[in-house]
């Protein structure tokens, strides 16, 4: 009985920390609309590095959003990685420099990035920008990222947004809203405190010496998240640049959505379990506040999972109170629930009205229930290897 009491108290306290971190980030982000930050660094020569695996349906659109933003001194390098389609030919026709990589054993975006960086060593640029082959880069974003990277000599992350489409159902619109909370609202809150953000996988600019020395050649399913933490450990935590925007679309196929979500969320949870304790100790020992902030941000699990866990702990707390009159588990989990509900409502009011209505928002609280199987799968058969999401236009 004492052990069960300890577990319940510990569970209630453990959900309070991510709830507090989430609420703090969001309350800072929504206090006032951010103004444009003047970026006065020099416009050094850059190389845009684009890893592409069977992206023939989308790569031309991505390249056309980038090319008008480049100067004559810049390079646009596509790594056609283990492609079975005409990705390489399309990229070349769009004016990109193309190199092909064929290695069916070492698969994943990290290996493609390493291959591209090693190629750039022959004639290194000052800055390397990484953009996925299914992304649109908004006008002016390349210049903003380049100048801020040059000025700060640190990695810089653009706002990376995902869109569900005009005819998307509630489930996909809720996914878009959750993405906004994760990739736009929370990084903005950290930026208001002068703190770094996580890397998001695309729309990233790096000083050459930093990306050259980074460990890229891995099959890690969230290589971007791990890279940002490694750079923070090395004294170069990423900066967030909300004025630069890179966007993409959620897959419309059920298989594509499931693959994408499983990779992102299993990868995030795996990094929390494997990296967070060491990062927390390292940041406290070294007094590295940037690393500490990124570690605390990392420990906020995917929003749907956080809602599920807090709901479960609160429910058990209610039952426990009715049976034993124990106040602490119910009180602490209630505070966590209020913080998370407040975070969602504040985010929606400031950033989510155009995506979901107020009525949809309450129906959306059922959205986490649809992801229970994904989280159970993490416990019994988690995804460990990189798997490309099935894109719209892919052949069955």
Helices (H), 214-253: 223-233
Secondary structure element (H or E) that encloses residue 16, with its range: helix 2-30
Q: Show the tokens assigned to 300.
A: 């906020």
The mean per-residue pLDDT over the stretch 28-51 comes to 79
- Angle of CA points 9, 11, 16, to nearest 5°: 100
**What's residue 1's pLDDT?**
62
Q: Tell me the fold of 46-264.
A: Spore Coat Polysaccharide Biosynthesis Protein SpsA; Chain A (3.90.550)
pTM of the model: 0.88
Residue 396 predicted with pLDDT over 50: no
Q: In percent, how much of the chain has pLDDT > 90?
A: 61
Q: Show the tokens assigned to 228.
A: 């940002």
Domain segments of the chain as ranges: 2-32+279-381, 46-264
Question: Using CA atoms, how far apart are residues 325 and 92, in angstroms rounded to an integer?
Answer: 70
Long-range contacts, 349-353 (Cβ 8 Å, 24+)? 349/30, 350/29, 350/30, 350/185, 351/30, 351/180, 351/181, 351/184, 351/185, 352/177, 352/180, 352/181
Write out pLDDT tens, residues 273-299.
888 899 999 999 999 999 999 999 999
Residue 162 predicted with pLDDT over 90: yes
Write out pLDDT tens, residues 365-379.
777 877 888 888 887
Distances (CA, A) of 161 to 53, 195, 202, 310, 335: 21, 20, 10, 27, 30
Q: Helix, strand, or coil here: 79?
A: strand
Write out pLDDT tens, residues 195-246.
999 999 999 999 999 999 998 888 766 778 889 999 999 999 999 999 999 9
Strand segments, DSSP code E, in 127-191 are 127-130, 136-137, 156-163
Confidence at 342, pLDDT banded by 50, 70, 90: very high
Confidence at 360, pLDDT banded by 50, 70, 90: confident
Bridge partners (DSSP) of residue 159 are 245
């Amino acid at each position: 009985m004492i052990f069960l009491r300890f577990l319940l108290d510990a569970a209630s306290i453990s959900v309070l920390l991510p709830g507090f971190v989430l609420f703090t980030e969001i309350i800072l982000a929504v206090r006032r609309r951010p103004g444009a930050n003047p970026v006065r660094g020099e416009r050094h020569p850059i190389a845009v590095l684009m890893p592409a695996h069977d992206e023939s349906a989308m790569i031309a659109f991505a390249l056309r959003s980038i090319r008008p933003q480049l100067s004559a001194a810049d390079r646009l390098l596509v790594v056609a990685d283990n492609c079975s389609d005409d990705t390489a030919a399309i990229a070349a026709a769009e004016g990109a420099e193309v190199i092909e990589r064929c290695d069916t054993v070492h698969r994943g975006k990290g290996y493609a990035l390493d291959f591209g960086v090693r190629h750039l060593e022959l004639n290194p640029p000052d800055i390397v920008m990484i953009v996925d082959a299914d992304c649109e880069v908004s006008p002016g974003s390349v210049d903003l990222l380049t100048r801020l990277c040059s000025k700060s000599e640190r990695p810089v992350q653009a706002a990376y947004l995902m869109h569900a489409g005009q005819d998307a159902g509630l489930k996909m619109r809720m996914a878009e809203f959750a993405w906004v909370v994760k990739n736009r609202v929370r990084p903005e809150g950290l930026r208001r405190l002068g703190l770094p953000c996580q890397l998001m996988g695309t729309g990233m600019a790096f000083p050459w010496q930093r990306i050259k020395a980074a460990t890229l050649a891995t099959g890690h399913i969230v290589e971007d998240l791990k890279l940002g933490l490694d750079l923070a450990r090395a004294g170069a935590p990423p900066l967030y640049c909300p004025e630069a925007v890179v966007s993409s679309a959620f897959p419309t196929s059920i298989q594509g959505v499931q693959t994408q979500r499983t990779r992102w969320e299993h990868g995030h949870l795996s990094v929390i379990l494997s990296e967070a304790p060491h990062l927390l100790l390292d940041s406290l020992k070294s007094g590295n506040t940037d690393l500490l902030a990124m570690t605390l941000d990392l420990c906020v699990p995917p929003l749907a999972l956080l809602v599920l866990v807090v709901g479960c702990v609160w429910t058990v707390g209610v039952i426990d109170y009715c049976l034993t009159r124990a106040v602490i588990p119910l009180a602490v989990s209630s505070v966590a629930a209020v913080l998370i509900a407040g975070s969602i409502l504040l985010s929606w009011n400031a950033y989510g009205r155009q995506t979901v209505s107020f009525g949809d928002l309450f129906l959306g609280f059922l959205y986490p229930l649809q992801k229970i199987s994904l989280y159970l799968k993490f416990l019994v058969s988690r995804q460990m290897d990189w798997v490309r999401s099935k894109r719209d236009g892919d052949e069955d």
